[in-house]
Amino acid sequence: MAYLAFYRTFRPSTFDAVVRQEHIVRILKNQIESGKVGHAYLFCGPRGTGKTTLAKIFARAINCESPVNGSPCGKCPTCRALSEGSSLDISEIDAASNNGVDEMRDLREKVQYPPVAGKYKVYIIDEVHMLTQSAFNAVLKTLEEPPRHAVFILATTEPQKIPATILSRCMRFDFKLIPQKDLEELIKSVLTKTGKEYEDEAVSAIARAGAGSARDSLSIADMCASYSKGKLTYGDVSAVLGSADFMKIAEICRYILSEDSQGALTAVENILSTGKSVGVLIKDLLSFLNDIAIVKVCRTAREIINLPEETYAAIAQIAGLCDGHKLLRVTEILAQAETDLRYSTSGRITLETAVLKCSLPEEDYNIDALIGKISALERQLGELKAGGFAAVPAVQNKPSAPPQETAETSARPAQPPQPVEVVLSEDDDVPPFDVSEPAKPAGQEPVQPALWDDAPASAASGTLSESDKRTVFAKLLKSLRTTHKNAVLFTLCMDLITEFEGDKLVMITDNESVCRALNRTDNYNFLGGVLAELGVTEYEIRFRPKGESDFDKALGELKKNFGGADITVK
């Protein structure tokens, strides 16, 4: 006899042998035991989850002379005839190749004949969504009122393509994906029956690649068993699946999370030069990042991902190089690259662009990248302070209140606050954060001299005119464009909406993260010092969700323009 694949050799023959789908098995067994067998069933769900298998078991069970616990006994003449394929009472129809109206008319005529040996004549129509509209119409009336001896079982992976008139005439059963743990047990039982030794990590890798499909998992296990002459190892499974070497994937992720763009791009080029597919490489990178997320979040990560000790140690080491913001940002960029790959004419450029974007957060103006950069700066400052470096003074922010004025200072126009600097010794490998704005060439005038003029004399008295209020926010942004630290604040402030409530400046944002960052003590005090020199003694950073700002602004304008009127909001 010709060799049979694993998924055919070990196809379940009873309800108890079916992997999961307990909710469907229980209903079918109860119907058989009570004799309440329906006339039309619809089995829908992902591929390889047992739709056709359950249809065959159910067809044999309702014709079995002495079913055992609802399942066919496999010993009576009817069961033997059905299992050998010599019975005319069960007909399997492939709707993909028999999708015309003529085939359905022929079925409508044959269904009138009674069964030969069993009690029911069962028609299993696989991939029923492939039928044409005319074919559906031809079988519609027969499906609604078939002969007493006829049972229809329709199987499909795309139930949304089936007309509502067909769906309403069937009992619908939705199959679900099989959990990885159950797939691992299935693969182990099959390998044990075939006498193949295996590593637990190899079985876990096969189950993950199966992605919830029992047929896909057994097909991969069949290939791996043929590839490995001895004990099936994790490396054998990786070689069969065509995945890139684990350590090379780990190297790319290490470079990306360490923000080494040159190393990351070089490592990607080395893998692609060996002929690896761009799509497979992105998939491997996303899988590795998912393992990192599990290691950082889950206490039972070792049991969840179930990888060899050396592999798990490498993942745990790389997980310490990043925080949640950075990991989320890198994962989202690569996931978007995987989507863009479908429409790209050059997949290599798409991948390399995504890798560069991941490893160069300073060039990305996304809010997650900005928050990640702020966190990195805070972490570096904390490490330097904890190490007790004498050359690193504490960061001095401007006071929240304006400085005391003297006769000399009152005559001098107000200047923006000095940049925040962190001085490091020459031996330190951390770059200083003070990146001053380059000096302008001699004689070059500003583009907007009227907007960036020095603060007027009224700023010294603590009161601002209406014209001053209109320019104070622009002067604040100008003052923040000095150092690296202030540049981050400038980026956070540039999208704020400002308004004055009397002499109080209110800066409004619809982003909660930006609001929290600006209200942090050091940032709040620094902004207070800047605004104090511009004549603003009171200010507030306020969060206002989207959808409310336009209404509130319009309402405020009405109250301002019609101060004496009684305005009621309904």
Confidence of residue 551 (pLDDT cuts 50, 70, 90): low
Say if residue 1's pLDDT is above 60. no
Q: What's the pLDDT at 364? A: 61
Say if residue 554's pLDDT is above 80. no
Going through 127-273 in order, the beta strands assigned E by DSSP cover 150-156, 171-174
E strand or H helix at 116: none
Q: For the chain, what percent of residues have pLDDT higher than 90?
A: 21
Q: Which pLDDT tens digit goes with each residue over 447-473?
A: 433 333 343 434 444 567 777 777 888
Q: What are phi and psi of 550, to 5 degrees?
A: -65, -45
Q: Which amino acid is at 345?
A: T
Question: Which residues have a Cβ under 8 Å from the Cβ of 487 and sit 6 or more positions away?
Answer: 435, 480, 481
- Give the tokens for residue 14: 């009873």
Helices (H), 258-308: 261-272, 278-297, 301-305
Instruction: Give the CA-trace dihedral at 234, 236, 237, 242, to 10 degrees.
Output: 130
How confident is the model over 105-130, as a mean pLDDT?
88
Q: What's the pLDDT at 191? A: 92
Q: What's the pLDDT at 65? A: 83
Residue of higher predicted confidence among 550 and 69: 69
Most confident listed range (81-90, 329-338, 451-460, 560-569):
329-338
Q: What's the pLDDT at 483? A: 52
- Give the tokens for residue 376: 């990195």
How confident is the model over 535-539, as a mean pLDDT?
85
Q: What's the pLDDT at 437? A: 44
Q: In this structure, are residues 171 and 68 in contact, taking their beta carbons and an 8 Å threshold?
A: no
Long-range Cβ pairs for the range 320-326 (8 Å, 24+): 321/254, 321/257, 321/258, 322/257, 322/292, 323/372, 323/375, 324/296, 325/368, 325/371, 325/372, 325/375, 326/257, 326/361, 326/372
Helices (H), 388-465: 407-411
Q: Which pLDDT tens digit goes with each residue over 226-278?
A: 998 888 988 888 888 877 778 889 999 999 988 888 899 999 998 888 888 89
27, burial (CB in 10 Å: exposed 0-12, middle 13-18, buried 19+):
middle
Q: What's the pLDDT at 43? A: 94
Say if residue 356's pLDDT is above 50. yes
Catalogue all structural domains in the chain, each as residue range(s) with its CATH number.
6-174 (3.40.50.300), 180-241 (1.10.8.60), 246-363 (1.20.272.10), 451-561 (3.30.300.180)
Most confident listed range (222-226, 369-373, 437-441, 501-505):
222-226
Q: What's the pLDDT at 26? A: 92
Range in 40-49, 71-80, 212-221, 417-426 with the lowest mean pLDDT = 417-426
Q: What's the pLDDT at 566? A: 67
SS3 59: helix
Q: What's the pLDDT at 443? A: 46
Query: In terms of Cα–Cα distance, which of 211, 279, 280 is closest to 47?
Result: 211
Say if residue 567's pLDDT is above 80. no
Q: In this structure, are residues 254 and 330 in contact, taking their beta carbons and an 8 Å threshold?
A: no
Q: What's the pLDDT at 69? A: 83
Q: In this structure, are residues 199 and 233 in contact, taking their beta carbons and an 8 Å threshold?
A: yes
Q: Which pLDDT tens digit goes with each residue over 201-218?
A: 889 889 988 888 999 999
Confidence of residue 548 (pLDDT cuts 50, 70, 90): low
Q: Which pLDDT tens digit goes with each residue over 434-448?
A: 434 444 444 444 443
Q: In this structure, are residues 78 and 86 in contact, taking their beta carbons and an 8 Å threshold?
A: no
Confidence of residue 362 (pLDDT cuts 50, 70, 90): low
What sign does the dihedral 406-411-413-418 (CA atoms) show?
negative
Q: In this structure, are residues 51 and 134 in contact, taking their beta carbons and an 8 Å threshold?
A: no
How confident is the model over 163-182, as a mean pLDDT?
91
Mean pLDDT value across the chain: 79
Say if residue 30's pLDDT is above 80. yes
Q: What's the rounded Cα separation, in Å, for the pair 210 and 190?
A: 15
